[in-house]
């Protein structure tokens, strides 16, 4: 089901609870988004290829094919549409697993629909916001701010919008050490809500993707920095 005037783009909402889906749709539409709703994972994957959403609000606890597997298959198909996970399980395992799969953010039920819409806007702003025409280099990593592309040597590396912005924030200020709360505030737009574990998971994923070319350094007891070019 598709509804709303997609002035800001179309958001795919994948939620099997009809009341929650209706509430999320209402608030997204009020904010200028079009909305397409699916209630199970298989239908969501088909809709992704058909409606080409700008973002996905994805419930983890779906019947059949759950949200974690939907996200896994998206990334395996090189689909890096921003994903915001919704989970009813308030524990670190789900959150960390979701972020490791390449999700950009998450909210935990019960959640404020206004907060969810604000998170969607933030994810899209990170993915599509204007950037200066600048190429950053550190170690064996090269980052193009305008094209939002990253290379290690000659090989291009696929990053989520959040991973890209975290890496860019560090590489723009080589040698400067950032505490985790500072990175949450600068990259995610909030500090205490997500918890600093979110930063650690994204840093770990960046290092795994960049390999030996990663310019990210851990400053024990403080936070993270990027080495100077």
Exposed e or buried b per residue across 80-90, where buried means at least 16 C-beta atoms within 10 angstroms of its C-beta: bbbbbbbbeee
Enumerate the β-bridge partners of residue 84. 57, 105
pLDDT of residue 146: 83
Q: What is the CATH number of domain 2-128?
A: 3.40.50.2300
Are 56 and 98 contacting, i.e. CB atoms less than 8 angstroms apart? no
Cα separation, 151 vs 167, whole angstroms: 12
Q: Residue 185: left if φ>0, alpha if ψ -120 to 50, beta else—which one?
A: alpha
User: Domain 135-226 falls in which CATH fold?
Assistant: Arc Repressor Mutant, subunit A (1.10.10)
Strands of 82-227 (E only): list them: 83-87, 105-108, 135-138, 141-144, 149-152, 155-157, 178-179, 216-219, 223-226
Are 60 and 66 contacting, i.e. CB atoms less than 8 angstroms apart? yes
DSSP category for residue 65:
S
Quick one: what percent of the chain has pLDDT higher than 70?
87
Total Cβ atoms within 10 A of residue 69? 16
Are 86 and 16 contacting, i.e. CB atoms less than 8 angstroms apart? no
Quick one: what percent of the chain has pLDDT higher than 90?
48
First-to-last alpha carbon distance for the chain, in angstroms, is 49
pLDDT of residue 14: 97
Domain borders along the chain are 2-128, 135-226
Confidence tier at 154 by pLDDT (50, 70, 90): confident
Which phi and psi angles does 137 have, rounded to 5°? -135, 130
pLDDT higher than threshold 60 for residue 3: no
* pLDDT tens readout for residues 93-137: 566 666 777 788 888 888 899 999 998 988 888 766 555 568 899
């Amino acid at each position: 089901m598709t509804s709303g005037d997609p002035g800001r783009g179309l958001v795919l909402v994948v939620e099997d609870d009809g009341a929650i889906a209706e509430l999320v749709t209402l608030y997204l539409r009020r904010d200028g988004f079009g909305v397409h709703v699916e209630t199970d994972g298989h239908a969501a994957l088909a809709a992704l290829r058909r409606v080409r959403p700008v973002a996905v609000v994805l419930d983890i606890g779906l019947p059949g094919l759950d949200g974690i597997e939907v996200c896994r298959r998206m990334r395996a198909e090189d689909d890096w549409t921003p994903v915001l996970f919704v989970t009813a399980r308030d524990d670190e395992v789900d959150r960390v697993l979701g972020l490791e799969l390449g999700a950009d953010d998450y909210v935990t039920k019960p959640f404020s629909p206004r907060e969810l819409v604000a998170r969607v806007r933030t994810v899209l702003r990170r993915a599509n916001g204007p950037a200066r025409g600048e190429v950053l280099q550190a170690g064996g990593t090269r980052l193009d701010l305008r094209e939002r592309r990253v290379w290690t040597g000659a090989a291009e590396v696929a990053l989520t919008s959040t991973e890209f912005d975290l890496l860019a924030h560090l590489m723009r200020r080589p040698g400067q050490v950032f505490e985790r709360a500072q990175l949450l505030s600068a990259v995610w737009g909030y500090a205490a809500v997500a918890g600093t574990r979110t930063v650690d998971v994204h840093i770990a994923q960046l290092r795994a993707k960049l390999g030996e070319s990663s310019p990210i350094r851990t400053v024990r007891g403080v936070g993270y920095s990027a080495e100077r070019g």
